[in-house]
Amino acid sequence: MKLAIVGGTGDQGIGLALRFAKAGLEVIIGSRDVKKAENTVNLIKNMLKDDNINICGTTNSKAAEKADLLIMTVPLQAQMGTIFSIKDHVGDKILIDATVPLDTCIGGKPVRYVNVWEGSAAERTAEFLKDEKPIVISAFNNISAASLTNIEADVDCDCLISGDNNNAKAEVIQLAEKIPGVRGIDCGSLENARIVEKITPLLINLNIRNKIKLAGIRITGL
Ligand X SMILES: NC(=O)c1ccc[n+]([C@@H]2O[C@H](COP(=O)([O-])OP(=O)(O)OC[C@H]3O[C@@H](n4cnc5c(N)ncnc54)[C@H](OP(=O)(O)O)[C@@H]3O)[C@@H](O)[C@H]2O)c1
Residues that bind ligand X (CB under 6 A): 7, 9-13, 31-33, 36, 73-78, 81-82, 98-100, 102, 141, 144-145, 200
- Measured from the CB atom, the residue of 11 and 88 that comes closer to ligand X is 11
Report, in Å, the least distance between residue 34 CB and ligand X: 9
Question: First and final CA of the chain: distance in angstroms?
Answer: 29
Report, in Å, the least distance between residue 213 CB and ligand X: 9
Residue nearest to ligand X (CB): 10
Query: Which residue in 101, 222, 103, 124 sits closest to 173, CA to CA?
Result: 222
- Measured from the CB atom, the residue of 13 and 134 that comes closer to ligand X is 13
Alpha helices for 49-165 (secondary structure H): 60-66, 76-86, 121-128, 145-149
Instruction: For Cα atoms 7, 12, 15, give the angle at the middle one, nearest 5 degrees.
Output: 115
Report, in Å, the least distance between residue 25 CB and ligand X: 19
Report, in Å, the least distance between residue 29 CB and ligand X: 8
The CA–CA distances, whole Å, from 31 to 94, 199, 204 equal: 19, 27, 26
Report, in Å, the least distance between residue 62 CB and ligand X: 13
CB 6 within 8 A of CB 73: yes
Residue 58: strand pairing partners: 30
- Measured from the CB atom, the residue of 106 and 167 that comes closer to ligand X is 106
Q: Which helix (H) or strand (E) holds 162?
A: strand 158-163
- Measured from the CB atom, the residue of 168 and 215 that comes closer to ligand X is 215
- Measured from the CB atom, the residue of 82 and 120 that comes closer to ligand X is 82
